[in-house]
Chain A
Amino acid sequence: MSAKPVLGTTLYSFTNEWLQRFYTLEELVAKVAELGLGPAVEVVGFQSFREYPDLSDEFARDFRSLLDRYGLFPSCLGGNCDVGRHRERLMTEEETVDFVERQLVSAQKMGFRVLRIQTFVGPRVFEKIAPLAEKAKIQVACELHSPLHARHPEVLELRECFDRVGSEYLGFVPDFSASMAAPPAVYWQKLRDLGAPEALVEEAKEVWASDRPIPEKFGALTDAAGRYGADGALRAQLNMSLTMFGRMPVEQLAELLPYTKHIHGKFYGVDASGNEPSLPYPELMALLKREGYQGTISAEWEGHAFTEEPIGFEQVRAWKAMCERLLAK
C-alpha cells in the first residue's frame, strides 16, 4: 500500500460554532476527537488564542495536554503578518521578522510543526527567518491561494529563494482553492443577495472561467459592476471571485510539493452524494497519492463566509469520508 497524506482539520472550519460561543476551545477539541476528525489539528492563532501572538508557558502546556488527552497532535499554527497594523505606514522588514519570531516561539511552545504565514512578506524576510526557523525546528511556510499559483512571479521568486537558502524549514502551504472547478453556488447567491442582477452574475461567471490574465479580469469585473450600478459592497464581493477561487491546473500542485509543509483542504460544501462540486477533489487526491505526499492536510471548511449556520462539524465529517474514499482508490 502506498504512503498517504495525514488528514485532520483546522478549528477554523468551526468558525460559526466558535463565534457564536456554542463551544469553548476545549469543547471544540473534544468534539473533533469524538467525531474522529483528527489526528492533525490546525489552529489560527489570532482566532483561538486570546493572548496570541504571545502565549504563556502555562497556556501552552494546557493546550498540549488537551490534545494529548484526545489522541490529537498540533499540525500547523495559522500565523499572520499584520504588516498593515499601523494606520499610516507598513511594518518595516525588521518589525515583520520580529512579529514572525514571536509566533515561532508560540508555535514551538505549543508543539506545532509548521507556522503558516503570508506570501507577501517576500524573500528577504524569509531569508532572515530561516535561521530562526531552523533553531526552533518549526517549518515556516506561506499559504498559496488565488490569485497566486505555482508559476505566479511572486511564487517563482519564493521558490527561487527556498532553493537558494536550501533550508527544509521554509516552504509553502498550498490551498486547494487555488484549483477550483468553479466558485461555489453559495458565492453566486451572495452576489444576488447583495443586489446583483442575474445578467451581472452571468458576466462574473464568464470572467472567472476565462483564460485572461488576472489584472484584466479585475478590470472586466470593475467594468461590469459600473454598467450594472453595483455599490461598494457588491463590488468588493465581485472581486472576491478572483481572490478566493483560483484556476490553477491541478497538475501544477506537483511542482509545489517539494516545498510543501502542509496543505489546506479548502472546501465549501460536501453534498448529499458525498462530493464537493466546486473543487476537483478526485484529481487532487489522485495527484497527492501518486506523488507520495505524506504530510498533513487540514479540512478547511470556508462555507462560513456565506452562512452563519453551525454546520462545520457535519461538513468536516463529510469531507473526511470523501477524502478517505478517494485515497482508498
Chain B
Amino acid sequence: MSGVKVIEDNSLRATPSGFEVRVRFKWYRSLPLSCLEDLRLSIDGEPVDPGLIKFHINGHVYRLSELTELVEENWFVLDPAILEVELPGKVKPGEPHQIDISFGMRAPYIRTGPGDFLTVINRGSATQVAA
C-alpha cells in the first residue's frame, strides 16, 4: 500500500534547462488551476526561486504566476503536473537529489468563514536518482 504521493516515484529527470519532477495533489476531485497556492520547491535543501518554475498541465505550459487567473482550466485529480525548473546543470542523470515540495489547493466550495475556503496543504519529500 503506497497511496497517492505528492512527488511521483522515479519522476526526477535531468533536462537541458535544469530538471523536472512530476507532482500530484491529494484531494478527491479536480480543482481549477487558480486554486493552487504558494508552491515551494527546494532541491538538496536550497529553495528554488518560484520564477524559475514552469508548470506543465493538460499539454500547456504556465509560469506559476499565471495560474491564479486560470479559473476555467482544471487540474484533473488523476493527472500529475510536471514542474520544470530552470537551473541548468543542477541535476545530472544518475545523481541522487532530495526534492521537497509544498503547495496549497484551495477547495473553492468548502467555506471556513466569510470569503475563506478550506486550503488543503500538500507536502512531499523524496530523494530520487535523476533519469
Contact = CB atoms under 8 A, between A and B. Distances in A.
Interface stretch (A84-92, A125-133, A318-326): A84-92
Interface in B35-62: 35, 37
Given A20-B4, A90-B115, A308-B3, A83 B28 contact: no
A5 to B, nearest CB: 25
A228 interface: no
B29 A80 contact: yes
Interface string A38-82: 000000101100101000000000000000000000000000111
Nearest to A239: B112
Contacts of A50: 30, 76
B1 A85 contact: no
Interface stretch (B13-21, B88-96, B103-111): B103-111
B109 A82 contact: yes
A187 interface: no
Contacts of A46: 29-31, 74, 77
A20 B2 CA distance: 9
A21 interface: yes
A87 B34 contact: yes
Interface residues of B, number: 27
Interface string A17-30: 01111000000000
Nearest to A15: B28
A90 B115 CA distance: 7
A55 to B, nearest CB: 13
Interface string A297-313: 00000001000111000
B30 A47 contact: yes
A275 interface: no
B60 to A, nearest CB: 15
8 contacts: A19-B4, A44-B28, A47-B29, A50-B30, A80-B29, A87-B34, A87-B37, A310-B1
Given A46-B30, A310-B1, 7 more contacts: A19-B28, A46-B74, A47-B77, A84-B117, A85-B35, A87-B68, A304-B28
